[in-house]
Structure 1
Amino acid sequence: MDKASRVYTELKHNRHMEELQNLHPNAYDYIIDTVLHKWSCVYYPDRRYRVMTTNVAKCINSCLKFARQLPMLTLAEFNRNMLQHWFRDRHWVAQSMHHQLTDATHLVILKSMENCNFMTVNPVDCNIFLAKRSGK
């Protein structure tokens, strides 16, 4: 299941699921009844730009796997077009933001600030502080 959860193509996902079915039929039956997009990268509904990595070279390299067989000029045009779409999509997302941070990060900070309302902070020295939860 771990292998099936980490791949980005349906073909590889199905191959790993068949392997799981052969090795552990009960586990396969249980997993197949679950919601695939909650644990499988290939069925995750949000855009991940086809990879989950912070390494830009790996990201672009994996997106160009099938295009590598194209002639050089066609490959360059494919690459330009792909990056242009990525930047356009991200620009639209950035333009719709209401804060300087992403909405998800803003919510994390708001939740942390809400939790801090119940904390008392005392300095230990100029660099270290002791935070204690005060009675609510």
Structure 2
Amino acid sequence: MDKEVRAYTEFEYNRHMEELRNLHHNAYDYVIDIGPHKWSRVHCPGRRYRVMTTNDAECINSSLKFARQLPMLTLAEFIRNMLQRWFHNRCRATQSMRHQLTDASHFVILKRVEKCGFMTVNPVDCEVIITET
């Protein structure tokens, strides 16, 4: 299934999907029903920065790899504790923010504003727009 997910071209995707259909028809039907735009790189509607899903459950699942072996009540307490810690850390991080955006995003915008100062704006047509003040 990895080849279908990571295919860069429609041709490559179709070739791998045909192999999947011949190998395991039920798996093929299942992934088609989900919708290739949710998991296929070539059908992705936007840039996802090499992340193929934004599913919160998968994020939590990966954080619970070792905890799955715990007894049920201990696992529930572990999950509660983990989520509480995550929310607290994010709350503290937002309280220390100096801008409405993250520092990284703010820096990107500042760089772009700096570049804009050296650009010249030329009109596309001869129409003059007069604004009232």
Q: TM-score, normalised by structure 2?
A: 0.50
Given residue 89 of structure 2, which amino acid in structure 1 is its aligned partner?
D
1:124 CA drift (Å)? 4.5
Q: Deviations over 1:66-117 (max 9, x none)?
A: 1111111111110010011111111111000010000111011000000011
Q: Give the length in aligned residue pairs.
A: 73
Q: Which runs of 5+ in 2 are unaligned?
A: 1-52, 126-133
Shift in alpha-carbon separation, 1:123–1:77, aligned structure 2, 3 A:
farther
Instruction: Report what 2:98 is aligned to.
Output: 98
1:123 CA drift (Å)? 5.5
Report the RMSD for the aligned CA atoms in angstroms: 1.8
Instruction: Report what 2:60 is aligned to.
Output: 60
- Give the structure with the higher percent strand: 1
Shift in alpha-carbon separation, 1:70–1:118, aligned structure 2, 3 A:
same
Given residue 68 of structure 1, which amino acid in structure 2 is its aligned partner?
R
Identity %: 75
Q: Distance in 1 between matches of 2:121 and 2:101?
A: 26
Q: Distance in 2 between matches of 1:67 and 1:95?
A: 31
Q: Distance in 2 between matches of 1:64 and 1:104?
A: 29
Q: Distance in 2 between matches of 1:123 and 1:74?
A: 67
Shift in alpha-carbon separation, 1:121–1:86, aligned structure 2, 3 A:
same
Q: Deviations over 1:38-71 (max 9, x none)?
A: xxxxxxxxxxxxxxx7431111000011111111
Deviation larger for 114-123 or 61-70: 114-123
Equivalent residues in 2 for 1:1-136 (5 A)? 54-122=54-122, 124=124
SS of alignment partner, residue 94 of structure 2: helix
Q: Distance in 1 between matches of 2:122 and 2:102?
A: 31
